Amino acid sequence: MCGIIGYIGDKDATPILLNGIKKLEYRGYDSWGLAIIQDEIGLVKSTGKISEAKLDPLELEGRIGIAHTRWATHGGVTNENAHPHISCRKEIAIVHNGIIENYQEIKESLLDEGHCFTSQTDSEVIAHLLERYYHKSKDIKEALLATVKKIKGNFAFLAIFQDEPNMIVGARKDSPLVLGLGKDEIFLASDVLSFIEHTDKVVFLDNLEIAMVKKGSLRIFDFKGKEVQKGITQVAWEASDVSKKEFAHYTLKEIYEQYSSIKSSLYQDPVKLREFCKSIKEAKKLFITASGTSFHAGLVARYIFSKISKVYCEAILASEFSQIIEWVDKDAVIMAISQSGETADVLNAIKGAKEKGAKILSIVNVMNSTLDRESDLAFYLNCGPEIGVAATKSFTAQLTLIYLLAFAMANDFIGVNKLRKLNDYVEFILKEEDKIIEIADKYKVSNDFYFIGRSIHYPIALEGALKLKELSYIHAEGMAAGELKHGTLALIDSKTPVVVLNPEDNTYYETLSNALEMKARGAKIIGVSNLINEVYDDFILLPKIEDSLYPIIEVMPLQILAYHIAIDRGADVDRPRNLAKSVTVK
Ligand code: AGP
């Protein structure tokens, strides 16, 4: 899952492309590169982060170019494997996001034809295939259609041709590709954020489409070569949404944005809400599917729909969804949850479910994302773009929306009003930051961390552990408190910090006894509750709120704890190693 961008216009392309891939870095950041149309195709690429790039833009002056930021899937992090990849005669350069599943067999046939490969990547076959077909037909459209027919897997790629210096072409299958229409300039990119400061007029390429872009002209065809007319969408996001403002990191900014994002996630279309409730009520089976943090929101939904709406449902990891597909049919409803709306496992799960006739309801943050466009009904989080790789504000917005749907299904308007008041408690939590910074400093050298909770607190224990793992690289495990005695208790000793989620609700005393069991084995207990207790070595105070609503509030101290431990350990919190914001490969 890489980030790609192309520019064609009157301005100097290099600074625009560099800035664009900087904005796309959350999709992958182990190496980068760009290619510019000059007398010949000018190329520069390097391992490491763009922000550390030492590039003399004059070296690569031009009006048309493509660029890439990489998240390695095939081939290590080397200059050779960085994109753009170039054809043997150096006349065609390409950048690619996705995975070419049949690249080895293609590579063998190209090697037999005498093509020379310079990388271990799957992507490089695209440059050589375009070269093979272009030299046969001398027709770029034909070469493009022949190439997309040949490759299997998921891809979005851009290409420039020395023979056609006024054109950029692109193709999309399962990986996102959008076009930005500016004044006398056109952008082609993995997402809107990379060019939002230039234009908010966007054309979303659908699956199995190619784009042929010349200055002032844009033509789109399907993979059969038939021309397709597309509408222009004005996107709601602005350039200021993608700035860090006064914060040191996007992650911290997005944690603090929860003061407004929880409220804005409640602004939902009542007609859609009614349609959602009706679909759920009529469904014979309800499956929730998602990945990572969004799956933790799905686990909370399972508890809340059961408790508040008296609706039974199953929450299935998107990567495991194919294992239960035989239970999905036209009477089933799938609720898919995804911040990016581009997570390949989730798209794959709903693709299978749609083929079985199921209805797809989704909760997404990115409008016009693939999941949004593939759904029968989509709810938006309204929390603005989330740049930090670790999901924070999108999670609490997902939870708030899930509670709103649960209360709506139960016609519980008191519950909805309680949701509206939640904001007051966000400030309470954010004020605890200094206290949490002290705790972070105390435990920053730990090698292992446990998070425990019962009932609706269990998914939050999972989320707390995930945040700590992905931000600080400390091994952390979230678990249902009742499971400790069945094995994990063996790992507990005097060096083990354990975060105990224990607000004053019907799980309070059972969880307290679990904390005492661990304390008896020397564990350091960090209590997260509205009630202090001597069992806690350290304590993070929560406000006293409606029992069922605690997940939305109690996760924030865990986000702040993970953030500060990561900072103390010198980690790059916005770009954790080996991760990417949107996982567009299976
Ligand atoms: C969470 O902090 C991670 N970035 C990751 O687990 C993420 O939640 C997962 O990849 C799902 O992403 P999505 O919500 O965009 O589908």
DSSP labels, 61-129:
--SEEEEEEE--SSS-S-TTTSSPEE-TTS-EEEEEEEEETTHHHHHHHHHHTT-----S-STHHHHHH
pLDDT at 26: 84
Does the annotation mark 524 as catalytic?
Answer: no
The dihedral sign for the CA sequence 154, 158, 160, 164 = positive
pLDDT at 413: 87
**Which residues, listed in sequence order, are joined to residue 479 by a DSSP beta bridge?**
452
Q: Are strands 359-364 and 377-380 parallel, antiparallel or unpaired?
A: parallel
Q: Give residue 56's pLDDT band: very low, low, confident or very high (50, 70, 90).
A: low
Mean pLDDT for the stretch of residues 14-27? 91
Residues 6 or more apart whose CB falls under 8 angstroms from that of 303 comprise 455, 456, 459
Contact between residue 437 and residue 564 where contact means Cβ atoms under 8 Å apart: yes
Catalytic residue among 2, 277, 313, 383: 2
pLDDT tens digits, 511-525: 999 999 999 999 999
Instruction: Determine whether the shortest distance from the Cβ of 583 to ligand 1 is under 6 A.
Output: yes
Instruction: Determine whether the shortest distance from the Cβ of 338 to ligand 1 is under 6 A.
Output: yes
Contact between residue 21 and residue 82 where contact means Cβ atoms under 8 Å apart: no
- Out of 299, 317, 343, 365, give the residue to mutate to test ligand 1, the one with the largest number of ligand atoms within 8 Å of its CB: 343
Side-chain half-sphere exposure of 264, counting CA atoms within 13 A: 13
Tokens linked to 193: 């954020």
- Out of 249, 294, 362, give the residue to mutate to test ligand 1, the one with the largest number of ligand atoms within 8 Å of its CB: 294
pLDDT at 58: 57
| C-alpha 293 to ligand 1 mean position (Å) | 5
- Out of 193, 339, 389, 575, give the residue to mutate to test ligand 1, the one with the largest number of ligand atoms within 8 Å of its CB: 339
Whether residue 501 is predicted with pLDDT greater than 60 in this model: the reply is yes
Instruction: Determine whether the shortest distance from the Cβ of 291 to ligand 1 is under 6 A.
Output: yes
Q: How many helices (H) and strands (E) does the chain have?
A: 17, 25
| CA-to-CA dists, residue 131 to 44, 88, 124, angstroms | 20, 8, 11
Q: Whole-angstrom Cα distance, residue 505 to residue 463?
A: 20
pLDDT tens digits, 391-438: 999 999 999 999 999 999 998 888 989 998 898 899 999 999 999 999
Instruction: Determine whether the shortest distance from the Cβ of 347 to ligand 1 is under 6 A.
Output: no
- CA angle at 421 for the pair 419 and 423, rounded to the nearest 5°: 100
pLDDT at 146: 98
Q: Whole-angstrom Cα distance, residue 246 to residue 17?
A: 25
- Out of 29, 175, 293, 573, give the residue to mutate to test ligand 1, the one with the largest number of ligand atoms within 8 Å of its CB: 293
| C-alpha 301 to ligand 1 mean position (Å) | 17
pLDDT at 55: 62
Atom of ligand 1 nearest to the CA of 343: 16
Contact between residue 18 and residue 33 where contact means Cβ atoms under 8 Å apart: no
Does the annotation mark 2 as catalytic?
Answer: yes
Q: Whole-angstrom Cα distance, residue 402 to residue 167?
A: 46
| C-alpha 395 to ligand 1 mean position (Å) | 9
| CA-to-CA dists, residue 580 to 28, 70, 72, 390, angstroms | 5, 10, 10, 9
Question: Judging by beta carbons within 10 Å of its beta carbon (0-12, 13-18, 19+), is residue 413 exposed, middle or buried?
Answer: exposed
Distance in Å from the first CA to the final CA of the chain: 10
pLDDT at 161: 97
Atom of ligand 1 nearest to the CA of 391: 2
User: Average model confidence (pLDDT) for the chain?
Assistant: 94
Across 350-367, b (16+ Cβ under 10 Å) vs e yields: bebbbeeebbbbbbbbbb
| C-alpha 28 to ligand 1 mean position (Å) | 14
Read off the DSSP letter of residue 12. -
pLDDT tens digits, 296-334: 999 999 999 999 999 999 999 999 999 999 999 999 999
Instruction: Determine whether the shortest distance from the Cβ of 389 to ligand 1 is under 6 A.
Output: yes
Q: Whole-angstrom Cα distance, residue 270 to residue 276?
A: 10
Tokens linked to 361: 């309801």
CB atoms within 10 A of CB 114: 7
- Nearest-CA residue for ligand 1 atom 9 is 292
Q: Are strands 497-501 and 448-453 parallel, antiparallel or unpaired?
A: parallel
Percent of the chain clearing pLDDT 90 (strictly above): 87
What phi and psi, each to the nearest 5 degrees, are found at residue 286?
-125, 125
Q: Give residue 225's pLDDT band: very low, low, confident or very high (50, 70, 90).
A: very high
Instruction: Determine whether the shortest distance from the Cβ of 387 to ligand 1 is under 6 A.
Output: no
Atom of ligand 1 nearest to the CA of 366: 15
pLDDT at 51: 75
pLDDT at 295: 98
Instruction: Determine whether the shortest distance from the Cβ of 390 to ligand 1 is under 6 A.
Output: yes
Higher pLDDT, 498 or 583: 498
Tokens linked to 226: 């038939």
Whether residue 149 is predicted with pLDDT greater than 60 in this model: the reply is yes
- Nearest-CA residue for ligand 1 atom 4 is 390
Q: Whole-angstrom Cα distance, residue 206 to residue 200?
A: 18
pTM for this entry: 0.89
| C-alpha 408 to ligand 1 mean position (Å) | 26
Residue appearing with tokens 């040191």: 248
Mean pLDDT for the stretch of residues 526-538? 97
Instruction: Determine whether the shortest distance from the Cβ of 343 to ligand 1 is under 6 A.
Output: yes
Q: Whole-angstrom Cα distance, residue 397 to residue 403?
A: 10
| C-alpha 582 to ligand 1 mean position (Å) | 7
Whether residue 504 is predicted with pLDDT greater than 80 in this model: the reply is yes
| C-alpha 291 to ligand 1 mean position (Å) | 6
pLDDT at 526: 98
| C-alpha 283 to ligand 1 mean position (Å) | 27
Residues 6 or more apart whose CB falls under 8 angstroms from that of 292 comprise 343, 391, 466, 583
pLDDT tens digits, 160-199: 999 999 999 999 998 999 999 999 999 999 999 899 999 9
Q: Whole-angstrom Cα distance, residue 573 to residue 390?
A: 8
